[in-house]
Structure 1
Amino acid sequence: MKVLLTGAGGFLGWHTRARLQALTAHDVVAVTRAQWPDLAALARGADAVVHIAGVNRGDDAEVERGNLDLARDVADAVRASGSAPRIVFADSIQAGGDSPYGRGKRAAADVLARAADDVGSALVDVRLPNLFGEHGRPRYNSFVATFVDAVMRGEPPQVADRPVDLLHVQAAAQTLLDALAAPAGRIEPAGTPTTVAAVLRTLRDLDRVYAGSDIPPLLTELDVDLFNTLRTARFPASYPLALTRRTDDRGSLVEVVRAHGGQGQTFVSTTRPGITRGEHFHLRKVERFVVLAGTARISLRRLFTEKIVNFDVAGETPVVVDMPTGWAHNITNTGAGELTTLFWTHELFDPAAPDTFPEAVGT
């Protein structure tokens, strides 16, 4: 189906676009702020509209009015689309409250519901709890992003402890995808119960262990999601991660993976000169590359962007490059001889859910 995705350049929008590419064959029309003036034309013939674009910072009037105005633009585009697109609205649990943001979101849902009625389609109102995840902006998208930034800087953030339900942004994106086939009505996905202070403690523990190139304990889904959020924020400035080679008259030893808890899988490959492996991305998996012999270039590109990050590595001085989620990556043998590479992932390979999606690094 043709899916119009608003807010595609934002936090939730980017993750939803990545998940749509990975898991569906839909024709996705990504609408960012730059394309907003062309919204009506882009919506023509749409089978579904996933409306994520929103305003969550500004003065009270800007926040309330901004969310309502965006919904009105989407409603007008739906009515002019020449079709009857299902509307999936990325709403907020705050829509039940009386804050400017909550009032704006609630009014936006009403506008979209009327548009769905006018064209004979359905509205699925997805009320999301506190979101966090990779590429969140500090002091904007989530307190988790703010904490990650503070931990990386070695600064103590201000903490007002309270219970909180956290939903990883990829889980939120999956809820929006599920809503494309759900009956009209409201969906309220549940987050993981925790506290603000517990999140900060976990992030500090993860960072302390990872600073030494070790893999911290990944015992729960929340651990994995927080770790992926942290290590993506560290990329690419903190990479490659150094490894220590210990040598005596018998030879040398390098500890490549020191995992402090959880499962994992290790495999080794050889690659002929000039050959490239990889050309894919992951949504969740923690994957580590370490060249043990030969020379190689490891290249990565964040989805829907053009800049490529390169690391030239050699087995003589082994280092770690961990692949951030949502980044296409590959490894090319740049030497004259055979390349030997060790790969490690934090979970056992599941052929039913491999979390590996083809995507060339070069565009």
Structure 2
Amino acid sequence: MKIVLTGAQGFLGWHTRLRLHALTDHEVVPVGRAEWESLPSLIADADAVVHIAGVNRAESDDEVRDGNISLARDLANAIERGGAPPRVVYANSNQAGNGTPYGSGKEEAASILGRATEATGGTFVNVHLPNIFGEHGRPRYNSFVATFVHAVITGEEVTINDNQVGLLHVQNAAQALLDGLTGEAAEIHPEPEAHRVQEVWDLLQEFHASYVPSGEIPDLSSTFRIDLFNTYRAALFPEHYPIQLVPRSDPRGAFVETVRCRGGEGQTSFSTTVPGITRGEHYHLHKIERFAVIRGKGTMELRKMFTDEVVAFEADGDAPVAVDMPVGWVHNITNTGDDVLFTQFWSHELFRPDAPDTFPEPVRPQE
């Protein structure tokens, strides 16, 4: 299936593209501002459009409302001109129709896209998303969770209205959009998980108090804790890394604690790598993974999916450090020394062959 994905460079767009890349063989055509004028030609031979591009906040209420309507009209015109009846999956909001500028704009956008799609014989799927949060969200734009994460890391104060809110991790939101690509459902309502605002702030404070000083992994005994911790540590990358490990020596030798974890399951393994060889070359959708070189010399490289910049960390077993791999970042480790490289790996979950959450991709794609 050929899928045109609007808003592909945004928060939800990046995660949706990542999930499509990991779990499907679909051809994805990412559309951002630079490609917007080419929409008619891009969707002419497409099987589906996933429309995420939108305006969350702007300088005026009119810009928020009219911005979402304008994007929908552009897409509707492209659908009518394209000559093909694609399936259109729309990333709508639970706020649609609540009378706010954002809710009014999202509601009108859904009506515009629904009429255009049905007029050409296509299928319109309206996905109503609640508050979403996750890795690489923008503070003061995508969600209050992103704002809280930024405030915890920078030491800023926040004002908390301790309401109960429904929260959905962005990868679950992306899956709801993928679900809209098949089946007959015209409306999809992914179920959020209820949490209090104060609870979110308290958990982030808990994470920060243990993770930054020593790299200690917090209690990961629930899916929400895992998702929130992944969100938090993504905002620390790469400035916080590598994590300095502390050798404790006596006449017998040295002892280095590479991972301390407060809760949940976990698995530790190690590898040997001969000089010049690279291991890894994959990414994860939710797994928390730590690399620590315990003997030899190596280079850890990471690249955020769909970007070009490579971040590198040097590691030496004589001065041990650890790096925790962010979700959605391709990573590897190369033996750059003259001797065998010993690397310890830790994951927050047990390895399950039926669901390894490991997707091959090179850090440095061949030209």
Q: CA deviation at 1:80?
A: 2.0
The one-letter code matched in structure 1 to 2:168 is L
Task: Decide whether the 8 Å contact of 1:46 with 1:81 is kept in 2.
Answer: no
- Partner residue in 2 for 1:284: 286
Q: CA deviation at 1:155?
A: 2.1
- Partner residue in 1 for 2:298: 296
Alignment of 1:169-248 (within 5 A): 169-211=170-212, 212-248=214-250
- Partner residue in 2 for 1:56: 56
Q: Deviations over 1:308-330 (max 9, x none)?
A: 00001100011110000000000
Q: CA deviation at 1:81?
A: 2.1
The one-letter code matched in structure 2 to 1:162 is N
Q: Deviations over 1:199-220 (max 9, x none)?
A: 0000110111112111100011
Structure 1 moving runs of 4+ over 4 Å: none
The alignment's C-alpha RMSD in Å is 0.8
The reply to whether residue 23 of structure 1 matches residue 27 of structure 2 is no
Q: Deviations over 1:244-293 (max 9, x none)?
A: 10000111100111110000011110000000000000010000000000
Q: CA deviation at 1:34?
A: 1.4
TM, length-normalised to structure 2: 0.98
Q: CA deviation at 1:234?
A: 0.1
Q: CA deviation at 1:3?
A: 0.2
- Partner residue in 2 for 1:347: 349
The one-letter code matched in structure 2 to 1:298 is M
Q: What number of residue pairs does the alignment pair up?
A: 363
Q: CA deviation at 1:96?
A: 3.0
State percent identity of aligned pairs.
56
Task: Decide whether the 8 Å contact of 1:16 with 1:174 is kept in 2.
Answer: yes
For 2:261 and 2:193, the matched residues in 1 are separated by 24
The one-letter code matched in structure 1 to 2:46 is A
Gapped runs of 5+ residues in structure 1?
none
For 1:57 and 1:17, the matched residues in 2 are separated by 23
Gapped runs of 5+ residues in structure 2?
none
Q: Deviations over 1:303-350 (max 9, x none)?
A: 011000000110001111000000000000000110000000000111
Q: Deviations over 1:112-146 (max 9, x none)?
A: 11111111111110000001000000011010010
**Secondary structure of 2:82 counterpart:** coil
Q: CA deviation at 1:88?
A: 0.2
Q: CA deviation at 1:69?
A: 0.8
Task: Decide whether the 8 Å contact of 1:124 with 1:182 is kept in 2.
Answer: no
TM, length-normalised to structure 1: 0.99
For 2:122 and 2:34, the matched residues in 1 are separated by 28
Task: Decide whether the 8 Å contact of 1:297 with 1:333 is kept in 2.
Answer: yes
For 1:303 and 1:234, the matched residues in 2 are separated by 17
For 1:284 and 1:306, the matched residues in 2 are separated by 22
Q: CA deviation at 1:182?
A: 2.8
Q: CA deviation at 1:93?
A: 0.3
**Secondary structure of 1:332 counterpart:** strand
The one-letter code matched in structure 1 to 2:11 is F
- Partner residue in 2 for 1:255: 257
The one-letter code matched in structure 2 to 1:342 is Q
**Secondary structure of 1:166 counterpart:** strand
Q: CA deviation at 1:184?
A: 4.0
User: Which moves more between the two structures, 31-40 or 137-146?
Assistant: 31-40
For 2:268 and 2:27, the matched residues in 1 are separated by 36
Task: Decide whether the 8 Å contact of 1:123 with 1:184 is kept in 2.
Answer: no
**Secondary structure of 1:95 counterpart:** coil
The one-letter code matched in structure 2 to 1:68 is I
- Partner residue in 2 for 1:333: 335
